[in-house]
Amino acid sequence: MTGTDHSIDARPALTLTSEDETAFRSAIREFAEGEVKPLVNDMDQKAQINPDLIKKFFEMGLMGIETPEQYGGAGGSFFQACLAVEELGRIDGSCSVLVDVQNTLVTNALLKNANDAQKTKYLPMLASNTVGAYALSESGSGSDAFALRLKAEDKGTHWVLNGHKLWITSAFEAGFFLVFANTDFTKGYKGITAFLVERSMPGFKVGKKEDKLGIRASSTCELLFENCEVPKENVMGEVGKGYKIAIETLNEGRIGIAAQMLGIQQGAYEATVNYIKGREQFGKSISAFQAVQFQLSEMRCMLETTRLHVYNAARLKDMGKDFVKDAAMAKLIASRNAEKVCSLAVDLFGGNGFTREYPVEKFFRDCKIGQIYEGTSNMQLQTIAKMELA
């Protein structure tokens, strides 16, 4: 999983030759209920995704949904990748984001920007046995993504990278990293270049893992580059054009995060419906009280509003239409609604909702990150406004 074996062991079990998305969703839901759900609490407490479960993600074909079959992938659509992220999010936000980053960020970036040799080498790995990570953020470059200070120097036969990255999702498990560094600071963002870095490359190390509020099983680590040697052939795209790759990839990735938030809302909503039907006060189910019914209705409306925005953005992307504003709106609305829905879920569970015996406290913790990573809510508002006023 974290090695550099480039062979394809076997075809993924999930082959997306059918357009029957209902059957596809059902297959993912069955997998999530049977394989992921029993491990959720243990993974949350240990702050690590079960390694055997990650192997099952590969066997199921979840780590290469859009990857063409010629590279060992499932040959599916971006929309199907979002469905998978949603269904996993319904059970566990950590597993959801692992699959999301693999598909909507790392693999998507390679499919669009890698040359034939790079695709032949890395896409089979990412579809069959190697977790990928997307390394853009640094301590001084969060929302200001292009203020990054990771330095890349041309040494003739290879590049040397020096500096560090922070908040890199899936870094603990990853064997492959899409890394953005600046080759010429005098050119500003036009010096940013994309590098394909393997975990085994000299001078590269995965550092401290963050102890987080939510999505605790999803690893978030710093990356250390100390004279890290990267072969010349591992530059993806043109030198100095990495900023364009980063922008385009993040626009797509925001739909994936919105799908994760949709799944978390769905999980919290379903848990709430089941709970209020069985919880009795004053001699009857609390679901019989109009105040509770109104709150549930609010939750449902927010959930379906999120779904419409996420699906619309994903469909536009698959059709090759302009989706940037819709992606920003989907992420903004999905993350806001997730916090509201999950908060109401805790309210309706009462004291039980504040305990770890019930699932809604975890949904509540997991949803907060949706307003922060892959572009904060303020950055989404800025994107929407710019496009409206252009």
Residue 181 pLDDT level (bands cut at 50, 70, 90): very high
Question: Is 9's pLDDT higher than 50?
Answer: no
Pair 176, 48 in one domain = no
Phi, psi (rounded to 5 degrees) for 196: -100, 110
Q: Can you tell me whether residue 137 is helix, strand or coil?
A: coil
Query: How confident is the model over 158-170, as a mean pLDDT?
Result: 98
SS3 content of the chain, % helix, strand, coil (to 5): 55, 15, 25
Q: What is the mean pLDDT of the chain?
A: 94
Pair 168, 222 in one domain = yes
Q: Does a structural domain hold residue 2?
A: no
Across 3-12, 165-174, 219-228, least confident range: 3-12
Q: Does a structural domain hold residue 13?
A: no
Pair 236, 254 in one domain = no
- Phi-psi map region of 188: left, alpha, beta (phi>0 left; psi -120 to 50 alpha): left
Query: How confident is the model over 59-77, as a mean pLDDT?
Result: 97
Question: Is 146's pLDDT higher than 90?
Answer: no
pLDDT of residue 14: 55
User: Token pair for residue 147?
Assistant: 């203020």
Query: How confident is the model over 221-227, as a mean pLDDT?
Result: 98
pLDDT exceeding 70 applies to what percent of the chain? 95
Query: Could you give the residue ranges of the DSSP H alpha helices within the chain?
Result: 21-31, 40-46, 51-60, 78-89, 93-100, 108-113, 116-128, 242-278, 290-318, 324-349, 360-367, 377-389
Dist. CA 124–CA 135, nearest whole Å? 20
Query: How confident is the model over 295-305, as a mean pLDDT?
Result: 98
Query: How confident is the model over 368-384, as a mean pLDDT?
Result: 97
Pair 277, 349 in one domain = yes
Pair 227, 268 in one domain = no
pLDDT tens figures, 32-52: 999 999 999 999 999 999 999
Spatial contact of 207 and 224, defined as CB atoms under 8 Å apart = yes
Q: Does a structural domain hold residue 4?
A: no
User: Token pair for residue 107?
Assistant: 């693999």
Task: Check if 153 is active-site.
Answer: no
Pair 110, 138 in one domain = no
Pair 93, 52 in one domain = yes
User: Token pair for residue 330?
Assistant: 């989907």
Residue 185 pLDDT level (bands cut at 50, 70, 90): very high
Say which of 138, 173, 222, 374 is annotated catalytic.
374
Q: Which CATH number is 266's domain given?
A: 1.20.140.10
Residue 21 pLDDT level (bands cut at 50, 70, 90): confident
pLDDT of residue 218: 98
Query: How confident is the model over 228-248, as a mean pLDDT?
Result: 97
Q: Can you tell me whether residue 185 is helix, strand or coil?
A: helix
Residue where a domain terminates, one of 131, 156, 185? 131
Residue where a domain terminates, one of 197, 223, 240? 240
Spatial contact of 314 and 326, defined as CB atoms under 8 Å apart = no
The domain of 116 spans: 21-131
Pair 260, 385 in one domain = yes
Q: Which CATH number is 216's domain given?
A: 2.40.110.10
User: Token pair for residue 245?
Assistant: 């790759």
**Angle, CA 331 vertex, CA 326 and CA 335 arms, to 5°:** 150
pLDDT tens figures, 87-126: 999 999 999 999 999 999 999 999 999 999 999 999 999 9
Pair 376, 248 in one domain = yes
Number of domains in the chain: 3
